Amino acid sequence: MTTSTSDGRPATGWMKCQWFDEPLLEFANGGKHVSPRSGIARYGPGSYQTSRHPEVVRLALIGPGENIERAEKWLTGIADGVRGTDKTPEFPGWHPDRGFFSRLEFASGWNEVLAQGELRLALGHERKRAKFDAVRDLLDDKLRLIAQRDRRPDVVVIALPEDLIRQVGTWVSPSKGTDSFRDLRRAIKGAAMRWGLPTQFLRDATIEGRDTTPLSRIAWNVCTGLYTKAGGYPWSPVGLTDNTCYIGVGFFRPLDAGARMQTSLAQAFDDRGEGLVLRGPDFEWDEVKMGTKSPHLSGEQAELLMTTALARYQQVMKRTPARVVVHKTSRYWPEEREGFRAGADGVTHRLDMLALGRQSRVRLLPLSKYPPLRGTRFTIGNLDFLYTTGFVPALNEFHGMHVPAPIEVADHVGQDSGREHLLREVLALTKLNWNSSQLGGALPITIRFSQLVGQILRETPEDVDPLPQFKYYM
């Protein structure tokens, strides 16, 4: 993408570049670092020595007897610490005097064994969908029994045998309809909300050491997720605007609802990283008639979603935001803009709306051997591009899995905040995935979790009221 003058020389001023420092994170006792792993190892998790810190994390296990024993042994082993590699720092462990400054507690009375007879009965159906439904119902019943214990565990670890996962881990219908793909993990997380139990899945390959991912990295990720699901928060962002509500808008297609039905969802985060999920209303979307596969809300639907999201935010967070920022992956249609504005007017007049998402058409080609720096922003016309993956000078390492491509910010409605300020916030929001210990994601948490939450809400039974806390979707 280039522009030039009439004599062939490149035009000046057609592209502007700048670089944002890596956002800091805050850990225990106000300690700050750019890296989640280094910060926890040096200072402890963010909620340590607060009322949110779980001093004991009670774990129940579901699986065949052999899997339960091996899963408990594996978790106990990593709790003692894991040596690092040249790319992943050592995991300090999970003990009262280091790491997460807490301890894991197991008790056979919390566990639920999947008996061989129960598994044979569930897998004895001829049709794969019947097998899928039978295993899901069996696990749902085990969760019910755990939820009825006098002392409930904090998290349920589900350790299923590899053979069962091969048979019913996913189900694909030959009809290729709207309900052609099902996922057991998502279905169980949806069902577990009925019982108010966060879940953590452990694979055979992980427990047996066959996973090629370094064990220290696995330990960091699993334990960060467990700590969050038990009610703690591992870190909080630095640099987000005080008293701001960040809302991500997404869509998913509910099961058995027809090809044209969609459901809206909103995810709201505050400036401390706390978030909630809200399922919006169903609506019909005809891709052919509307000319695009990307769903859009009518003005009335946008106003209702915003009003409901902000009301739930105030109810759960116990405060009213002074500023609202909305993220969406598609551009805002005029009626959507007006609807979101109308929905926010009763709470605040400070509203910004951004459309942002992945793209691979535009990249910077550095002259050095290093990839572009994470935090590089460049502007072409009215479009902004931001590298959320790339080389991280603060850690002297590359962050990403592939050749980095910047995300695109194609729409900014509202103008109540400067574009640079909004992009710095986007970069900070890439570091709020509390289900992983990696430096940050390619997308801000407002957008990243839209797809993941939608997949689980899609599998949530109609008679189950989706819970707002993110720990049930991780």
Across the chain, what does the average pLDDT equal? 91
Statement to judge: residues 356 and 420 lie in one domain? yes
Per-residue confidence (pLDDT) for residue 377, from 0 to 100: 97
Residue 29 lies in a domain: no
| More confidently predicted of 13 and 298 | 298
**pTM for this predicted structure:** 0.93
| More confidently predicted of 424 and 366 | 424
How far does Cα 101 stand from its chain's mean position? 24
Residue 8 lies in a domain: no
Q: CATH code at 406? A: 3.30.420.10
Statement to judge: residues 151 and 206 lie in one domain? yes
Residue 4 lies in a domain: no
324-to-76, 167, 309, 337 alpha-carbon distances in Å = 43, 45, 11, 13
> Closest Cα to residue 299, out of 329, 343, 331, 356?
343
Statement to judge: residues 118 and 249 lie in one domain? no
19-to-2, 355, 363, 380, 385 alpha-carbon distances in Å = 21, 21, 15, 15, 11
Residue recorded with tokens 């899609």: 458
Give the 3-state secondary structure of residue 213: coil
Per-residue confidence (pLDDT) for residue 452, from 0 to 100: 86
Give the amino acid at 11: A
Per-residue confidence (pLDDT) for residue 258, from 0 to 100: 66
Statement to judge: residues 278 and 309 lie in one domain? yes
Statement to judge: residues 140 and 261 lie in one domain? no
**Alpha-carbon Rg of the chain, whole angstroms?**
23
Last residue of a domain, one of 229, 258, 289: 229
Contact 326, 244 (CB under 8 A): no
Q: CATH code at 218? A: 3.40.50.2300
Residue 381 lies in a domain: yes
Residue 371 lies in a domain: yes
Residue 24 lies in a domain: no
Residue 216 lies in a domain: yes
Statement to judge: residues 133 and 153 lie in one domain? yes
Q: What is the pLDDT of residues 404-447, one digit of tens each?
A: 999 999 889 887 889 999 999 999 999 999 999 999 999 999 99
Last residue of a domain, one of 207, 229, 251: 229
Flag whether pLDDT at 39 surpasses 90. Answer: yes
Statement to judge: residues 152 and 106 lie in one domain? yes
Beta strand residue intervals within 232-335, DSSP E: 236-237, 244-252, 261-269, 275-284, 323-328
Q: How many domains does the chain have?
A: 2
| More confidently predicted of 4 and 280 | 280
> If pLDDT is split at 50, 70 and 90, which confidence band does 259 have?
low
Per-residue confidence (pLDDT) for residue 2, from 0 to 100: 42
Name, in order, each residue with C-beta under 8 angstroms of 447's C-beta and a sequence gap of 6 or more. 248, 250, 327, 328, 329, 356, 357
Statement to judge: residues 195 and 243 lie in one domain? no
Q: What is the pLDDT of residues 152-182, one digit of tens each?
A: 999 999 999 999 999 999 888 665 555 568 8
Statement to judge: residues 133 and 197 lie in one domain? yes
Domain of 356, in residue numbers: 239-472
Residue 10 lies in a domain: no
Flag whether pLDDT at 6 surpasses 50. Answer: no
Statement to judge: residues 219 and 126 lie in one domain? yes
Give the 3-state secondary structure of residue 438: coil
Statement to judge: residues 189 and 270 lie in one domain? no
- Tell me the three-class secondary structure of 241-252, residue by residue: CCCEEEEEEEEE
Beta strand residue intervals within 68-169, DSSP E: 94-95, 98-99, 103-106, 112-113, 155-159
Last residue of a domain, one of 229, 263, 283: 229
> If pLDDT is split at 50, 70 and 90, which confidence band does 3 have?
very low
Statement to judge: residues 106 and 169 lie in one domain? yes
CA dist 368 and 110 (Å) reads 56
β-pair type (155-159, 112-113): unpaired
Give the amino acid at 191: A
